[in-house]
Amino acid sequence: MASYPSSLTDSEWEIVRPMIPETHMVGRGRPCTHSKREILDAILYIVRGGIPWRMVPNDLPNWKTVYHYFRLWAKLGIWQRVHDSIRDLARLQHGKKKPRPLRSSTAKAFAQLARPEYVAMMRAKRWLEGNDTCW
């Protein structure tokens, strides 16, 4: 596999490796022909380059495979976990504390505010008030 500027170095891969789940389920489906690192390098190539999925180079896994794992890992919350872990590691390296998790009451309030019906109600309210600051 060719190396691209967006590819992970060995030290970066060692940090991310434990957070990425296995690419196949034992005893189910076709065996995986690509490693987790190849798939992750292809995802990073797309994200870093801002290119369409179908323009993945031929030496990386097929775009459908890459997109499948991107969506699967997003659905499983893997990207958020990777982001949080790397953020916490960077904060500790710069002498800062890890951020505290939100209290359950705050998390519940954020969940309520994100519901579509609440957002629609707030947009309608702002529109009726004539406020030009609308989201």
- Which residue, among 82, 90, 84, has the nearest Cα to 44 in the 3D structure? 82
What string of DSSP letters covers 37-84? HHHHHHHHHHHHHT--GGG--TTSPPHHHHHHHHHHHHHTTHHHHHHH
Distances (CA, A) of 19 to 79, 80, 86: 9, 10, 11
pTM above 0.85, yes or no: no
The string of pLDDT tens digits covering residues 56-78 is: 999 999 999 999 999 999 998 99
The pLDDT tens digits of the residues spanning 89-120 come to 888 888 888 777 767 777 777 777 778 877 77
Of residues 61 and 1, which shows the higher confidence score? 61
What is the Cα–Cα distance from 47 to 70, expressed in whole angstroms? 11
